[in-house]
Amino acid sequence: MNAARRIQAWIDATVFDLARQMRWSYLPPLMVYLAYGISTITGIVGTFFVKEYLGLSAAFLAGLGFWAGLPWALKMPLGHLVDIIWRWKGALVWLGAALLLGSLGIMYLLITAPDAMASILPIPAWYVTAVLLMPCGLVLQDAVADAMSVEAVPTHDGSGAPLDEETLRALHTTMQTLGRIALIGGTLIVAAINIVAFEGAEALPQEAKAEVYARIYAIAMIVPALSVSGVALAAWQRRRSGATEPERAKTRPNPWYFIGGGAFVALSLTVGLLDVPFAQEIVFAGSMTIVLLLMRQLTRAISPAQARMLFGTALIVFVFRAVPLPGPGATWFVIDGLKFDAQFLSVLGLIASTLTLAAMLVLRPYMAQRRLTRVYLTLTLIAGVLALPNIALYYGIQNITAPLTFGILDARFIAVLDTAAESPLSQIALIPMLAWIARNAPSDLKATFFAVMASFTNLALSASALGTKYLNQLFIVTREVTDRETGAVLIPADYSQLGILLIVVGVLTVALPLATIAIVQTSRLRTTD
């Protein structure tokens, strides 16, 4: 009986309490987060488009990932802009929607009207433009969604009495958790759509495949519509209640955020247009310098002890996210070597999203009760262990396990197990950071403070892309590229160096974060949060 009561209490605290804390005002930012999650619908079709239509190398694509990640480093000045134009912040969501629509429209036309597009610009140039427009639109909407998530949390109860600190902390934590759930829920919807869309696509002729790809990009155009609907709903809620924009402390503009943002844009354009050697490295170093200087500006609003903890925490999160990845060669291998088709990759995405949602609900109490350093220490060790199945698949462990288990432990089963274990990891790793931001954001710098950690840690994704590029230049991986007209092989497939690449990535995944945690915790930047 006691065991049953404990189970009932755990379920209530883990699941139903989250539902009880839901507020009608949470819906607008959740719609923007949901749109962000659904925007991943083009991930798989984009991989197959590049593989089948473009002869771009893994190193070039990794470099393109670097440039695509840089707009996220601008989230800090954008967050400050949101604080300043708080009443009109919804306009940035509309601008982001226009950029997203442009990106999706380009990709749709590249598939449905490639000759017409090629007559204006080369197809690779159009593709690069579409890839760069997408993060620009997403970062605008994400900066506003973070601000909306703070605004959505009520500060008074139904009788007009101010809520106590513990209640506010719980509501903010719930809002951030629901935001992650909405985002991952979007990827869950995406996986389900892809499974249906790609059913039987592997056996279709190339022209029919192109129709499937175009249909997915057409469906993706719901993303900008959904995000602007969230802003419209927030405005309707205020009109319906007769309320105006919530009162808040007026933010004093700090020109350094915009000077830094302008310097970032100028540096990127100058280096890019002049075709300077090591352009990505120069832009990364310049961006890092700018972001650190802007972080220094922000820390003047908090105590020296909090500032040191902020930098220590940010450094740990940065290195955790900056670990290089195998790159597109790993995906090419499972497509060519293991014969994973688009539908099966969609099934893996569906499993990943479902388990991530479940893990967020189950582990929410654990994340709230553990120190951030302990959480990242645990996640780092788990990430190292979870690198092993991919390495084993490359070296053919499925050829041993499948005969011994009557075909059960084949490559696809091992891939499902790996996805089931690893998928919650990357998303859960974000929750401690978001909770830390929610607890420590100054009242008059909500969006700016949210954007500070996001800008710095998102710059880590650019560092990860650089590391990925270097590894792909050191360990060359190529997929087969054929001429669409003659069928002649232009670039032969070569996965001979992929195994050592996967091993190096696995070692770095463990070594770099562990070394950073040790350094931070033995320095003045030691974090106890």
Band of the pLDDT at 6, cuts 50, 70, 90? confident
- The pLDDT, as a whole number, for residue 272 is 60
Q: How many other C-beta atoms are found inside a 10 Å radius of the C-beta of residue 56? A: 17
What value does the mean pLDDT of the chain take?
A: 78
Band of the pLDDT at 67, cuts 50, 70, 90? confident
- The pLDDT, as a whole number, for residue 423 is 45
- The pLDDT, as a whole number, for residue 519 is 93
- The pLDDT, as a whole number, for residue 86 is 77
The arithmetic mean of pLDDT across residues 318-332, rounded, is 83
- The pLDDT, as a whole number, for residue 453 is 74
CATH superfamily of 23-154+163-240: MFS general substrate transporter like domains (1.20.1250.20)
Partnered with residue 491 across adjacent β-strands are: 481
- The pLDDT, as a whole number, for residue 512 is 94
List the one residue out of 346, 333, 316 whose CA is nearest residue 477.
Answer: 333
CA pair distance 375, 393, nearest whole angstrom:
28
The gap between the terminal CA atoms of the chain, to the nearest Å, is: 37
The arithmetic mean of pLDDT across residues 12-34, rounded, is 81
Q: In the predicted model, is pLDDT for residue 99 greater than 90?
A: yes
- Give the residue, 241 or 94, on which the prediction is more confident: 94
Q: In the predicted model, is pLDDT for residue 83 greater than 60?
A: yes
Convert the pLDDT of each residue in 39-49 to its tens digit.
Answer: 877 776 777 77
Q: In the predicted model, is pLDDT for residue 420 greater than 60?
A: no
The arithmetic mean of pLDDT across residues 417-437, rounded, is 59
Choose the CATH number for 312-528 among 2.60.40, 1.20.120, 1.10.3470, 1.20.1250: 1.20.1250
- The pLDDT, as a whole number, for residue 384 is 83
- Choose from 80-89, 389-398, 502-511 the range with maximum mean pLDDT: 502-511
List the one residue out of 252, 280, 326, 329 whose CA is nearest residue 463.
Answer: 280
CA pair distance 32, 228, nearest whole angstrom:
8
Question: How much of the chain exceeds pLDDT 70, in percent?
Answer: 80
The arithmetic mean of pLDDT across residues 331-342, rounded, is 73
- Choose from 124-138, 145-159, 290-304, 473-487 the range with maximum mean pLDDT: 124-138
Mapped onto helix, strand or coil, the DSSP state of residue 489 is strand
Cα–Cα distances in angstroms (integers) from residue 266 to residues 270, 271, 274, 287, in the given order: 6, 8, 12, 11
Domains 23-154+163-240 and 312-528 share a fold: yes
- Give the residue, 246 or 105, on which the prediction is more confident: 105
Convert the pLDDT of each residue in 134-152 to its tens digit.
Answer: 889 998 998 888 888 877 7
The arithmetic mean of pLDDT across residues 348-365, rounded, is 71
In the numeric block, the tokens 């139903």 are attached to 16
- Give the residue, 117 or 13, on which the prediction is more confident: 117
CA pair distance 353, 191, nearest whole angstrom:
8
CB contact set of 164 (below 8 Å; sequence gap of 6+): none
- The pLDDT, as a whole number, for residue 516 is 93
Convert the pLDDT of each residue in 176-194 to its tens digit.
Answer: 778 888 888 887 787 778 7
Q: Is 286 exposed, middle or buried (0-12, 13-18, 19+ CB in 10 A)?
A: middle
- The pLDDT, as a whole number, for residue 419 is 47
Task: Please state the domain extents for the chain.
Answer: 23-154+163-240, 252-300, 312-528
CA pair distance 87, 147, nearest whole angstrom:
11
The arithmetic mean of pLDDT across residues 244-259, rounded, is 70
Q: In the predicted model, is pLDDT for residue 421 greater than 50?
A: no
- The pLDDT, as a whole number, for residue 412 is 64
Quote the pTM value: 0.70
The arithmetic mean of pLDDT across residues 474-496, rounded, is 77
- The pLDDT, as a whole number, for residue 529 is 65
The arithmetic mean of pLDDT across residues 88-110, rounded, is 89
Band of the pLDDT at 205, cuts 50, 70, 90? confident
CB contact set of 53 (below 8 Å; sequence gap of 6+): 110, 114, 123, 484
- Give the residue, 272 or 327, on which the prediction is more confident: 327
- The pLDDT, as a whole number, for residue 440 is 67
